[in-house]
Amino acid sequence: MRVPFGLARAAGAACAVWAVTGSTGAAAQVGALASTAPTFAGCGEGEGPPPPDQADCVAREGTEPPDFSWAPRAVLAVPRLAFRTTTEVLMLGARLEDDYHVSKHVEDFFFNDARTFGVYPAFAYGTGIGAGVGMALVHKDLAGHREGLRLRAAYAGPYRQLYDAKVHSGRLWSPLRSALLVGYRRDDSKRFYGLGNADTAHVSELMEPLPLDAQQPGPAVHTQFRVEQVHANAALDLALGGNFSTGVLHMWRARRISSGSPDEYDSPWSDEVFAPESLVGFDRELVDTYSELALTWDTRRAVRADMPRALPGAGWRARVWTGLQAGVSDPHLTFGRAGFDLQPFIDLYRGDRILHLRLRGATALGAVDRIPFVDMPSLGGSQLLRGYNTDRHRGRATLLASAEYRYPVQESIAAYVFTDAGQAWPGFEDVTLESLADVRVGFGAGVQIYSTRTALLRAQLATSIDGGVFVDLKVNTSDDFGSTY
């Protein structure tokens, strides 16, 4: 069969192209194979595999490094879940408040229209102290001069109870204001760890023989004691002008400090670890009076109309005090007290982004064997040195520094983050700059729900450089951050 000349010429051209490209592709393939062929460390090119006795000339396959990228995700899984859960709950509460104005309806339910009379429940929970419920009755205008009455009862089982009544004169004798408080309190879960800033140790870990001396610094051991007391307080406050005021307090108190059955709590009682004779005032009836004189400069104010004075946005509160506690009954224990408390509130933005700083010091003046151990200044709890157990650190002198930043989350809801640093010294001779190397530091965050008149709820989560997690929840309760005793 004859092939047309044109087709034959095209076929010949195609064959020529194939020959060139084919040979080139083959060469490329050979080069690629050569580039992926095994190489032998320390060998000349083309020499092939080395002799068996030349270990440095053995081909080695590359290995993938271990993949530990999952480790950070695993470590952060729990805090991430806790943060997301907290955030979702918080935002749910914010949405409910925004859509339904829950706090206003609650206030409407418990108070009259004028907000001068109310009966409302109270709830508190703290790590290590458990939960308590209560009820309060308040009247804020008894006779038209803003006179006040408060009746309060709180119950956390038979081992923790509080009942008291308070009346004050309001503006009746302005600029003089008077108040009277009478009450009963019982607490079987009070704590004593010894004096000083030592690390906590279990009884089984102690190197020192028992009992320990409660008047000397030593290892910190968690022990408990019981306090039952009745008291009556009378107070006068006089406005001096220029945001200054002076206050006089006189308190009468009868109490008993003791222990209970060894089976009641997991922690030992104080007299099981510390020598009872070194626990000043232990296991006897104590009747004493306390008189205090204080000077206060208070310029705190709420910058925004929708914020209560209980959550100030600017100003200062500075207070200094001195007092004398005298024993009426034997053994007539007498000593002095003194301290200061400085609290600036700095408005960072629009009156609801607030930096709250604090510097507080307290001391007991007198011979250590004349001061009941329960009356030593202390740090720890939901207010002073957060992130530690209540009364975790006691000493003749204490110092606390704190910084807290509060910011809005939603209408009537604010969140805050904080850090506290504190130190307790067993004696005045221990107060040195070098001792500050052992300062205790706590930190955490919280949420506050409030109305235009008062703070309604506070939830707080705290920890410290020594570990532990402390939860504090208070509903319809207020804290007197200026309290000296």
Q: What is the pLDDT of residue 301?
A: 87
- pLDDT for the residue 131: 75
Q: How far apart are CA 425 and CA 411, in angstroms?
A: 43
Pairwise CA distance, residues 293 & 211, whole Å: 39
Structural domains counted in the chain: 1
Q: What pLDDT is attached to residue 76?
A: 58
Q: What pLDDT was estimated at residue 219?
A: 87
> Which residue, among 368, 414, 356, 435, has the nearest Cα to 395 in the 3D structure?
368
On whether residue 333 sits in a domain, the answer given is: yes
Q: Domain for residue 54, yes or no?
A: no
Identify the pLDDT of residue 440: 94
Contact 364, 371 (CB under 8 A): yes
Q: What is the mean pLDDT of residues 61-73?
A: 62
**Is the pLDDT higher at 88 or at 430?**
430
3-state SS string over 74-101? Answer: HHCHHHHHHHHHHHHHHHHHHHHHHHHC
Specify the higher pLDDT residue, 459 or 478: 459
Give the pLDDT confidence of 133-185 residue by residue, as tens digits.
889 999 999 888 899 999 999 888 778 899 999 999 999 998 999 999 999 99
480 domain-assigned = no
- pLDDT at position 439 over 50: yes
CA distance 164 to 196: 33
Evaluate whether residue 6 is within a structural domain: no
pLDDT tier at 320, thresholds 50, 70, 90: very high
- The CA distance from 13 to 20, in Å, is 11
Residue 485 located in a structural domain? no
Q: For residue 133, what pLDDT is reported?
A: 85
Q: Which residue has the tokens 């084919």?
A: 22
Q: Average pLDDT of 96-123?
A: 78
Residues 381-422 have pLDDT tens digits of 888 999 999 899 999 999 999 999 998 887 778 889 999 999
User: Is residue 371 very low, low, confident or very high in pLDDT (cuts 50, 70, 90)?
Assistant: very high
* Of residues 319 and 474, more confidently modeled: 319
**Residue range(s) defining the domain that contains residue 440:** 78-475
Residue labelled with tokens 């006779």:
143
pLDDT level of residue 357 (50, 70, 90 thresholds)? very high
In contact, 270 and 259? CB cutoff 8 Å: yes
pLDDT of residue 360 exceeding 70, the answer is yes
* DSSP line for 136-183: EEEES-SSSS--EEEEEEEESSTTEEEEEEEEE-TTTBTTEEEEEEEE
For residue 147, tell me if it sits in a domain. Answer: yes
Would you call 303 helix, strand, or coil by DSSP? coil
Quote the CA–CA distance of 290 and 234 in Å, as a whole number.
Answer: 11
Average of per-residue pLDDT across 71-100: 61
Contact by Cβ (8 Å): 198, 221: no
From residue 13, give the alpha-carbon distance in Å to each of 9, 17, 97: 6, 6, 85
Contact (Cβ atoms closer than 8 angstroms) between residue 440 and residue 463: no
* DSSP string covering 416-440: EEEEEEEEEESSGGG--TGGGGG-E
Question: What angle do the packed helices 77-100 and 102-110 form, to 10 degrees?
Answer: 60
**379: confidence class by pLDDT, cuts 50, 70, 90:** very high
Q: What is the DSSP letter of 272?
A: H
Asked if 213 contacts 234 with a C-beta cutoff of 8 angstroms, the reply is no
Residue 329: per-residue pLDDT: 86
Distances (CA, A) of 430 to 6, 209, 397: 113, 24, 9
pLDDT at residue number 420: 96
Q: What does the pLDDT average to over 278-306?
A: 91
21 in a structural domain:
no
Is 263 within the bounds of a domain? yes
Q: What is the pLDDT of residue 181?
A: 95
pLDDT computed for residue 33 by the predictor:
42
> What's the confidence (pLDDT) of residue 279?
93
| pLDDT the model gives residue 372 | 93
Q: Which of 103-117, 120-134, 441-455 has the lowest mean pLDDT?
A: 120-134
**Residue 239 belongs to domain with CATH number:** 2.40.160.50
Show the CA angle centred on residue 108, arms to residues 104 and 113, nearest 5°: 120
Lowest mean pLDDT among 45-59, 120-134, 295-309, 459-473: 45-59
Can you tell me whether residue 28 is helix, strand or coil?
helix
Mean pLDDT (the chain) is: 80
Q: Quick one: pLDDT at residue 157?
A: 73
**Which of 163, 165, 170, 115 has the alpha carbon at shortest distance from 148?**
170
> How confident is the model at residue 16, as a pLDDT?
44
Contacts of 435 (CB under 8 A, 6+ apart): 197, 423, 425
Does this model's pTM top 0.85? no
